[in-house]
Homo-oligomer: A and B are copies of this chain.
């Protein structure tokens, strides 16, 4: 049982098409930023990309997301998306995340997501295999 998993960081450049009528990054885009960060981190930091999961007949789905919106991101901003595994349980992993404005390191949004590993063939949850737990225990 690991006490503390590593925190990984990805940079996302805000696009004009992310901006809504209030001149802020649209609230659903934060989930896109989180997903983009996790993809990059799976490949770069955990050394097992989503493609490799799919090659093994498995895929991750978000089963729950809880997100607090704190401060707006705007056009011209770069976001930092930090994620950190909190715990594993069967087919699920709980990941905490913080989306910050790079220029001042202030939190724009934060929360957690539960991801469930599923079999692509059956669509049923799959207990996370030991070799993957190992890779993810950095």
For A20, give its contact among B19, B63, B66 (CB under 8 Å).
B19
Q: Please tell me if the beta carbons of B21 and A20 are within 8 angstroms of each other in the complex.
A: yes
A11 to B22, CA, bound (A): 25
Please give, as numbers and ranges, the residues of chain B lying within 8 Å of A20 by CB-CB distance: 16-17, 19-21
Interface size class of A (residues with CB under 8 A): 35 or more
Pick out which of these stretches binds chain B: A67-75, A82-90, A93-101, A127-135.
Answer: A67-75
User: How many monomers of this chain does the complex have?
Assistant: 4
Residues of B within 8 A of A51 (CB): 76
Seen from chain A, the residues whose Cβ lies within 8 Å of a Cβ on chain B are 12-13, 15-17, 19-23, 26-32, 35-36, 39, 43, 50-51, 59, 61-69, 75-76
